[in-house]
Structure 1
Amino acid sequence: MGVELVAIHWMYVIFLLLIIGCFLLRKDTTLISIVMIFLLGLIATGSISKAVSTIFNSFVFSITELLPTILIISIIVSMSNLLIRTGINDVMISPFASLIRTPTLAYWIIGIVMMVISLFFWPSPAVALMGAVLLPVALRVGLPAIGVAIAMNLFGHGIALSGDFVIQGAPKLTADAAGIPVSDVVSASLPLVIIMGVVTTVTAFIFLRRDMKKGGDFNATTEAIAEDNLEETEAIFLSKTTKRFWAVLIPVLYAIDIYLMVRFDLQGGDATALIGGTTIVIMLFILSLAYKGTALEQTTSYLIEGLQFGFKIFGPVIPIAALFYLGDSGFTKIVGDFLPKGSHGIINDLGVALSHSIPVNANIAAVALTVIGAITGLDGSGFSGISLAGSIANLFGTALGHGTATLTALGQVAAIWIGGGTLIPWALIPAAAICKVDPFELARRNFLPVVIGLIVTTIAAMFFI
């Protein structure tokens, strides 16, 4: 038998249900997470002053855990902004333009290139990096703008972001909440991401080709402008030779990073540090060439711009991540040794209790994680709820005695495909704005392919658990 459940365990169950309710109602979870952290501290310590301190300490713990992820994304956004303004990105993408000769080739080439770039630069910056260059080429060969938006969206915000194999921001969040190594989540997510990606992109392409043959209306546009629209920024002059040199060198440097990651088995924080360090070095060299006399000031400016983006994305994540760190090993570090003797964390204790109280099997667990992941994605972030998915995966995995990594990966895939930018209209604005299509129309066209993909992926996950 597991540890005897006490008041703090039952309160945590209530908190989980309230968080799920917030996601269903599309309400922000920041305030309720802070209140929950306070109440957990109060119940555990019996002291109002210590409970108040718990709020701040949990935020510090959460930020400390998330800081490498926030920094790597901020640095990459800083560099991607620089590549756009210097025109290096145009040279990097241009070789692929010559390969685009038919609508079919346009869809798949744009999608695959978007996926590869998104793995290193994250999808939102990647949309800006390649959208303006490849969109006109795709339109010339007959692929409508909505088709370009679908390809960039599904391959970038879907496949690349749900796996996040290089930067590992998403696996870091879910793995921490589930109490397992990041490498386990990355390994478990690989087959699920492949299945989800293949089913969704093929289905979307079939529907798009059907509508193109019918002569569907693809002219729905929008005046929506991405918040970080860099087209209005004055371009920086660099010689063609310089741009070509860096357009070749940058992919080579990242290819070397991948080799080193495989060769020396670098994962998690080590892999993030390697990619981050490489990005900073590249950015500093390009800044020194582009700005010459003002490189010192511009370095600070670009870093600030990137950090603003990073904290804007992760600002809503910090409070809810703090709550779920309390549910795992973080409780002792944040609050103190107030759990019952023999406890391995609130979520672990609940998982053991669940295994002794109701029958749990792989099928139920897989469906539950897909539904919970989808629910957490309804806020349009994709990241704010994956800590919840990781905690629930830990709970079911403990009850089953195995499969925590696969369940965690499944919840991550569902949450990010729904909320990371493929179904929630306000999360689609970057791709919609670049392609000048209606984000609601893009969400409508993504709906059936994504739902079909989630169903197939959930069934496949049942065999992996």
Structure 2
Amino acid sequence: MVQLTVLHWIYFIMVLVILSVMIMRKDTIIPCILGVFLLGFAAKKTMLGATKAVFDALIVAGTELLGIIVVISCIVAMSKLLEEIGANRWMVMPFKRFIKTPDIAFWFIGIVMLLVSWFFWPSPATALVGAVLLPVALRVGLPAMGVAMAMNLFGHGIALSTDFVIQGAPTITATAAGVPVESVMIKGISLFFIMGLVTVVTAYGMLRRDMKKGKLEKSTMEDFFMEEGKETRKIAKFAAILVPCAFLLDIVAMFLFELRGGDATSLIGGTATLLMLVISIVEFQGDALDKITKYVREGFMFGMEIFGPILPIAAFFYMGEVAPIQAVLGEGVLPSGSQGILSDMGMALASIAPMNRPVAAAIEMTVGAITGLDGSGFSGMSLAGSMAKVFGTAVNGSIPVLAALGQIGAIWVGGGTIVPWGLIPAAAICGVLPMDLARRNFIPVATGLVVTTIAAIFFI
């Protein structure tokens, strides 16, 4: 086991401080920046080095998030154009016959998001599903927050934690655990089902309760979609057909060329930008040069408004991984053999606990969740798989079940359902604050994690 250093303890203490601030429903930017400063001071031993580390950490976080920032900004810029010409109302008409109530909207969007995410991963799926179905949901009275919850829990939660089609997550976990990939998926299916069902039903129940009490405010986007009398341009029908067809071709291209993750996101972002270009030229002709500047500006202003407060938060939590902390503080900042601060802390926790099935399940879930705090659920799955092999052997239990449990903990926390720096895509496309979405998801996801851990004790 790697010897824990002062960096590990500073990081651990600041995580507790940040979680305490979140529980008090306050923003966490100040403790996050302070955490980076303290890490920098501990590593560099000078005020100059600590001050420089704060800025460098922001740059690293910005680099990590740049792709998501740009694709969301491009989608929003295109949406602004579609709003102005009135194409959005034509686009939602085919879905009116299916989505007539907020309840149907929540489950319809969630299931569509689940299916699309299985094939193309949640980030590109969020842009696709949100661009088309968000207006429909708002029309029937589902708040933007409800749409964000549905897309987030079904996509970054259920789809990413199961990953039955692409099999990236179970492959990483199973390889580290030394078991076949299919065993993690088959033997873990009961846990996947319990986690998804408990979380989504809890979230839906709390959403319906707050809607009845009037606690959820209507978004400004919703006001626009309710304006039936707004002028519709002649090109609106053409654009309403062109945009869905273009994104449908994107889906075909993803299948044919096996585009996943970042490649799929790039295709969607490029498609949105080109659509905006073509529609602007056809509609505004000579004025297109000036008009398109307006939409691009509005799109990126929206993107930075949403992402700006997240950068300092992400800057701190990214420091829990090897590459980011080395980029900020230097190559030799971590001890030899370290897998990153979060992974080291997880292994330290595992080494001091007595072993039986309840303890093994609790630690497997806890360590998976801890490694997910950096907002990247995949970063901790190798550790979760390795620990599943150790724990499963120690208690004479099922290694695949334990591996699936660790995978659930890492993905549901780090994949982006309860940490604000991980659920930005759904929040941004729906126009809600990531911190607010994280708070609404916290109780349902925490409930699901606890119930799933208890259930795992009987399956191990």
Fold match by TM threshold 0.5 = yes
Report matched runs for 1:219-368 at 5 Å. Answer: 224=217, 226-227=219-220, 231=224, 235=230, 237-239=232-234, 242-329=235-322, 330-336=324-330, 337-359=332-354, 363-365=361-363, 368=366
Q: Secondary structure at the match of 1:72?
A: helix
- C-alpha separation between the residues in 1 aligned to 2:144 and 2:334? 50
**Per-residue CA shift, 1:227-255, capped at 9, x if unaligned?**
5566299956422xx43333333223222
Does the Cα contact within 8 Å between 1:88 and 1:246 map onto a contact in 2? yes
Say what the alpha-carbon RMSD is for the aligned residues: 5.0
Aligned partner of 2:135 in structure 1 is 129
Report matched runs for 1:118-197 at 5 Å. Answer: 119-121=125-127, 129-131=135-137, 133=139, 135=140, 145=141, 152=147, 154-160=149-155, 162=157
AA paired with 1:57? D
The answer to whether 1:387 aligns with 2:375 is yes
**Per-residue CA shift, 1:117-141, capped at 9, x if unaligned?**
99343787667622454x2xxxxxx
Cα distance change, pair 430–114 in 1 and its aligned pair in 2 (3 A): farther
- C-alpha separation between the residues in 2 aligned to 1:75 and 1:46? 42
Aligned partner of 1:58 in structure 2 is 57
Q: Secondary structure at the match of 1:27?
A: coil
Report matched runs for 1:48-127 at 5 Å. Answer: 48-99=47-98, 109=108, 119-121=125-127
- C-alpha separation between the residues in 1 aligned to 2:158 and 2:417? 11
Aligned partner of 2:399 in structure 1 is none
Does the Cα contact within 8 Å between 1:11 and 1:40 map onto a contact in 2? yes
Cα distance change, pair 416–460 in 1 and its aligned pair in 2 (3 A): farther
- C-alpha separation between the residues in 2 aligned to 1:372 and 1:203? 23
Does the Cα contact within 8 Å between 1:80 and 1:129 map onto a contact in 2? no
Does the Cα contact within 8 Å between 2:107 and 2:150 map onto a contact in 1? no
Shift of 1:43: 0.9
Shift of 1:335: 0.9
Cα distance change, pair 15–150 in 1 and its aligned pair in 2 (3 A): closer
AA paired with 2:361? N
- C-alpha separation between the residues in 1 aligned to 2:55 and 2:447? 42
- C-alpha separation between the residues in 2 aligned to 1:7 and 1:203? 40
- C-alpha separation between the residues in 2 aligned to 1:6 and 1:357? 17
Q: Secondary structure at the match of 2:27?
A: coil
Aligned partner of 1:22 in structure 2 is 21
Cα distance change, pair 221–54 in 1 and its aligned pair in 2 (3 A): closer
AA paired with 2:375? S
Shift of 1:60: 0.8
Shift of 1:63: 0.5
Q: Secondary structure at the match of 2:269?
A: helix
Does the Cα contact within 8 Å between 2:41 and 2:47 map onto a contact in 1? yes
AA paired with 1:129? P
- C-alpha separation between the residues in 1 aligned to 2:232 and 2:196? 39
**Per-residue CA shift, 1:234-287, capped at 9, x if unaligned?**
956422xx4333333322322222233233332232222111111111111122
- C-alpha separation between the residues in 1 aligned to 2:84 and 2:455? 43
AA paired with 2:327? K
Report matched runs for 1:195-206 at 5 Å. Answer: none
- C-alpha separation between the residues in 1 aligned to 2:203 and 2:326? 47
Q: Secondary structure at the match of 1:22?
A: helix
**Per-residue CA shift, 1:277-334, capped at 9, x if unaligned?**
1111111112223333322222222122122222222222211211122221211111
- C-alpha separation between the residues in 1 aligned to 2:277 and 2:347? 51
Q: Secondary structure at the match of 1:231?
A: helix
Aligned partner of 2:400 in structure 1 is none
Structure 2 residue runs without a partner (length 5+): 117-121, 161-168, 176-180, 390-402
Cα distance change, pair 164–341 in 1 and its aligned pair in 2 (3 A): same
- C-alpha separation between the residues in 1 aligned to 2:367 and 2:296? 37
Shift of 1:54: 0.7
Does the Cα contact within 8 Å between 2:365 and 2:409 map onto a contact in 1? no
Shift of 1:217: 13
Does the Cα contact within 8 Å between 2:253 and 2:259 map onto a contact in 1? yes
TM-score (ref. length: structure 1): 0.67
Aligned partner of 1:171 in structure 2 is none
- C-alpha separation between the residues in 2 aligned to 1:77 and 1:272? 14
The answer to whether 1:410 aligns with 2:404 is no
Aligned partner of 1:39 in structure 2 is 38
Q: Secondary structure at the match of 1:324?
A: helix
Does the Cα contact within 8 Å between 1:37 and 1:55 map onto a contact in 2? yes
TM-score (ref. length: structure 2): 0.68
Q: Secondary structure at the match of 2:26?
A: coil
Shift of 1:72: 0.9
AA paired with 1:307? F
AA paired with 1:64? T
Shift of 1:202: 6.3
Does the Cα contact within 8 Å between 2:369 and 2:409 map onto a contact in 1? no
Structure 1 residue runs without a partner (length 5+): 136-144, 166-173, 377-384, 432-438
Shift of 1:50: 1.2
**Per-residue CA shift, 1:413-446, capped at 9, x if unaligned?**
784499999xxxx99x979xxxxxxx9xxx8xx9
- C-alpha separation between the residues in 2 aligned to 1:366 and 1:227? 42
- C-alpha separation between the residues in 2 aligned to 1:11 and 1:447? 25
